[in-house]
Amino acid sequence: MQLEWLARIRGELTQDEAAKKAGISRSAYANIESGNRAPSVDAAKKIAAGLEFSKFELDWTIFFDLERFESKLLREVI
């Protein structure tokens, strides 16, 4: 399941640029965003910090909270 919300947060950055901001490999980032791989807690924290999730009133736990992911509120925030 592709994480469309993550792509929207990434915005105009390429996956490579987002990965560099997060301090993870491009392939790891691409696999997470495409839904082929779940992030580790460490990777989730790095992505959240690198892409400044706090601007959207989100944090790294969003990767593990499916109800929040699917909620209307999340779609409105991003």
Q: Looking at residues 4-20, what average pLDDT do you find?
A: 94
Task: For residue range 22-57, list pLDDT tens digits in order.
Answer: 999 999 999 999 999 999 999 999 999 999 999 988
Residue 19 confidence (pLDDT) = 98
Look-up of token digits 């915005």: 11
pTM summary value: 0.84
Residue 58 confidence (pLDDT) = 87
Confidence category of residue 1, pLDDT binned at 50, 70, 90: low
Within 8 A by CB and 6+ apart from 14, the residues are none
Token output for 62: 């969003």
Q: What structural domains and CATH numbers belong to the chain?
A: 4-77 (1.10.260.40)
Within 8 A by CB and 6+ apart from 9, the residues are 51, 53, 56, 58, 78
